[in-house]
Amino acid sequence: MVTMSTAPKIWTRETGLVEKRDVWTAMKRGFRGRCPRCGEGKLFRAFLKTADHCSVCSLDFTPHRADDLPAYLVIVIVGHIVVPGILWIETNYTTPVWLSFAAYLPFTFFASLALLQPVKGAVVGLQWALRMHGFDDNPPDGIPPV
């Protein structure tokens, strides 16, 4: 049986002072593959594997939970670029099917690969800026780490 602490928390002016985190700056730094806090250290150690911590400011990246959101966002972004282009070309020009597939499929594939890491970095930066998923300095009591 787990017992919870019933001691009241006393809030003072010092407990309310926390590091200000700008959402857009953190997302831009993450999009560039840099640490969302300092903008200097590398965010990724492999193509989609985040580093354990920042080499400059020692920010722990392990609590991030990007999961499938970057892939969904990449599908939306690339789809909004590719689909109007395909519709415009197919309605104004008559192209052979083999030429259509030879042009559209590689573009879609490489555009998705090019955007996947920056979008994941931006999602991790957003999570850090909004203090989500363990990026909070004072996690609530009674919630086990993921």
Is 108 a member of any domain? Answer: yes
Is 55 a member of any domain? Answer: yes
Q: Who contacts 41 (Cβ-Cβ below 8 Å, separation ≥6)?
A: 34, 35, 51, 54, 55, 56, 57, 59
Paired tokens of 31? 């999009």
Q: What are phi and psi of 56, to 5 degrees?
A: -100, -55
Answer whether residue 55 shows pLDDT above 80. Answer: yes
Query: What is the mean pLDDT of the segment spanning 59-86?
Result: 93
Answer whether residue 117 shows pLDDT above 80. Answer: yes
Paired tokens of 73? 């966002």
Is 80 a member of any domain? Answer: yes
Which residues are paired to 44 by β-bridges?
A: 50
Separation CA 27–CA 41 (nearest Å): 14
User: Per the structure, how many domains does the chain have?
Assistant: 1
Is 110 a member of any domain? Answer: yes
Check if the beta carbon of residue 30 is closer than 8 Å to that of residue 43.
yes
Least confident of 17-31, 35-49, 71-85, 114-128: 17-31
User: Could you tell me the pLDDT band of residue 74, with boundaries at 50, 70 and 90?
Assistant: very high
Give the three-state DSSP class for 44: strand
Domain that holds residue 83: 21-130
Is 144 a member of any domain? Answer: no
Is 95 a member of any domain? Answer: yes
Q: Who contacts 33 (Cβ-Cβ below 8 Å, separation ≥6)?
A: 42, 43, 44, 117, 118, 121
Tell which wins on pLDDT, 4 or 106: 106
The angle at the Cα of 46, spanning 129 to 21, to the nearest 5 degrees, equals 10
Is 107 a member of any domain? Answer: yes
Is 72 a member of any domain? Answer: yes
Answer whether residue 133 shows pLDDT above 90. Answer: no
